[in-house]
Amino acid sequence: MTADKLRLGVNIDHVATIRNARGGDNPDPVRAAIMAEAAGADGITAHLREDRRHIVDADIDGLMAALTVPLNFEMAATDEMQAIALRHKPHAVCLVPEKREERTTEGGLDVAGNDTALAAYIAPLRDMGARVSMFIAADRVQVDACLRIGAPVIELHAGAYADAWAEGRWDDRDVELAKITHMTAYAHDLGLEVHVGHGLTYDCVGPVAALPQVAELNIGHFIIGEAIFQGLGPAIVQMRRCMDEARA
Footprint on this chain of ligand PXP (rule: CB under 6 A): 11, 47, 74, 94, 96, 104-105, 135, 155, 197-200, 218-222
* Residue among 65 and 164 whose Cβ is closer to ligand PXP: 164
Alpha carbon 140 to chain centroid distance?
20
Minimum distance from residue 133 beta carbon to ligand PXP (Å): 8
* Residue among 47 and 240 whose Cβ is closer to ligand PXP: 47
Count of CB atoms situated within 10 Å of the CB of 3: 18
Q: Tell me, yes or no, if 37 is annotated catalytic.
A: no
Distance (Å, rounded) from C-alpha 184 to C-alpha 192? 9
* Residue among 1 and 240 whose Cβ is closer to ligand PXP: 240
Minimum distance from residue 209 beta carbon to ligand PXP (Å): 14
Minimum distance from residue 169 beta carbon to ligand PXP (Å): 18
Tell me the three state secondary structure of residue 45: strand
Q: Tell me, yes or no, if 47 is annotated catalytic.
A: yes
If you ran DSSP here, which 8-state letter would residue 70 be given? P
Query: What is the residue-wise DSSP string for 155-214?
Result: EEE-HHHHHHHHTT-HHHHHHHHHHHHHHHHHHHHTT-EEEEESS--TTTHHHHHT-TTE
* Residue among 3 and 10 whose Cβ is closer to ligand PXP: 10
* Residue among 45 and 181 whose Cβ is closer to ligand PXP: 45
Catalytic residue among 193, 198, 216, 226: 198
Catalytic residue among 14, 54, 74, 188: 74
Catalytic residue among 47, 54, 157, 188: 47
CA distances from 102 to 27, 49, 98, 213 (A): 24, 11, 8, 31
Tell me the three state secondary structure of residue 102: coil
Q: Are 190 and 153 in contact (CB under 8 A)?
A: no
Q: Tell me, yes or no, if 198 is annotated catalytic.
A: yes
Measuring CA to CA, which residue among 65, 48, 63, 56 is closest to residue 20?
56
Task: Catalogue the active-site residues.
Answer: 47, 74, 198
